[in-house]
């Protein structure tokens, strides 16, 4: 069966017919990076110079792979949002999607959001089905091109999809740095668009992000 991550938009009775996770309207995606700075109007005060990074600081990087508690590894690709605010998760169950509006490895604050299919009609059960068995204390590792960061699971529950869509706390760029993993779960009802819940797993960093190859 196909995992369809969806939450009805206000005023809509029909589910989205694609694998997607709608983000709360209060969460505004932030670009991964910006280049250059706008010119200042004549007479404007210039901003203060910013100090160089301390040697102990790392440059945040987006995750490119995840290692689950079983040791299974999955590639991670960027996952943007649609015009309706839906997180567009990869169709391939062998790949996870990282929300481009969220935090990255090395960021001290906010949620690193990673989502993937639990299963597929054509591909069978996906590796993110492992989320359904995760418990507090399990360890998950994220890797970027140059960093690795380990997270300890502190919370793992099924959440109604409508509730997750209203929960900006799962996606906020504020607060302690954390990992939020999402896949489909709960009862499956094809007349309502598929799975009615999401499995949400939250992990906290064990330590700061470290170089992948010291």
Percent of all residues in the chain with a pLDDT value above 90, rounded to a whole number: 47
H/E stretch holding 201 reads strand 194-205
In terms of DSSP H, where are the helices of 33-185? Answer: 161-165
Average pLDDT rounded to a whole number, residues 177-206: 90
Q: What pLDDT shows up at residue 141?
A: 97
Assign 128 to helix, strand or coil.
helix
Domain that holds residue 170: 20-24+60-211
Q: Answer whether residue 197 is part of any domain.
A: yes
Q: Which of 88, 80, 77 is nearest to 19 (CA)?
A: 88
Q: Answer whether residue 147 is part of any domain.
A: yes
Q: How many domains does the chain have?
A: 1
Q: Answer whether residue 2 is part of any domain.
A: no
Q: What pLDDT shows up at residue 181?
A: 96
Q: Which of 27, 127, 120 is nearest to 81 (CA)?
A: 27
Q: CA distances (Å), 66 to each of 25, 124, 139, 208, in order?
A: 27, 20, 11, 16
H/E stretch holding 154 reads strand 147-160
Average pLDDT rounded to a whole number, residues 48-63: 72
Q: What pLDDT shows up at residue 82?
A: 81
In this prediction the pTM is: 0.76
Residue 23 — very low, low, confident or very high, per pLDDT cuts 50/70/90? low
Q: Answer whether residue 146 is part of any domain.
A: yes
CATH of the domain at 158: 2.40.260.10
Q: Check residues 179 and 174 and name the one with the higher pLDDT.
A: 179
Q: What pLDDT shows up at residue 161?
A: 81
List pLDDT tens digits, range 155-176: 999 988 877 766 666 778 888 9
Q: Answer whether residue 11 is part of any domain.
A: no
Q: Counting beta carbons within 10 angstroms of the beta carbon of residue 188, is it exposed (0 to 12), middle (13 to 18) or buried (19 or more)?
A: middle
Nearest-angstrom CA–CA distance, 113 and 118: 16
Q: Answer whether residue 45 is part of any domain.
A: no
Q: Which of 81, 89, 62 is nearest to 23 (CA)?
A: 81
Assign 163 to helix, strand or coil.
helix
pLDDT > 90? residue 103: yes
Q: Answer whether residue 38 is part of any domain.
A: no
Q: What pLDDT shows up at residue 35?
A: 46
Q: Answer whether residue 174 is part of any domain.
A: yes
Q: What pLDDT shows up at residue 120?
A: 86
């Amino acid at each position: 069966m196909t995992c369809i991550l969806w939450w009805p938009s206000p005023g809509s009775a029909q589910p989205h017919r694609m694998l997607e996770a709608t983000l709360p309207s209060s969460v505004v995606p932030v670009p991964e990076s910006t280049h250059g700075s706008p010119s200042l109007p004549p007479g404007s005060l210039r901003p203060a110079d910013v100090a160089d990074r301390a040697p102990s600081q790392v440059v945040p990087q987006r995750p490119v792979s995840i290692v689950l508690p079983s040791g299974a590894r999955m590639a991670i690709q960027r996952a943007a949002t649609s015009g309706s605010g839906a997180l567009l998760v990869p169709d391939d169950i062998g790949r996870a999607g990282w929300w481009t509006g969220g935090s990255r490895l090395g960021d001290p604050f906010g949620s690193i959001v990673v989502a993937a299919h639990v299963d597929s009609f054509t591909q069978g059960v996906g590796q993110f089905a492992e989320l359904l068995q995760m418990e507090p204390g399990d360890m998950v590792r994220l890797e970027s091109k140059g960093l690795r960061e380990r997270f300890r699971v502190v919370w793992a529950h099924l959440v109604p999809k409508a509730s997750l869509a209203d929960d900006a706390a799962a996606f906020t760029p504020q607060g302690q740095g954390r990992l939020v993993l999402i896949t489909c779960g709960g009862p499956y009802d094809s007349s309502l668009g598929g799975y009615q819940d999401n499995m949400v797993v939250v992990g906290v960093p064990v330590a700061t992000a470290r170089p992948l190859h010291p």
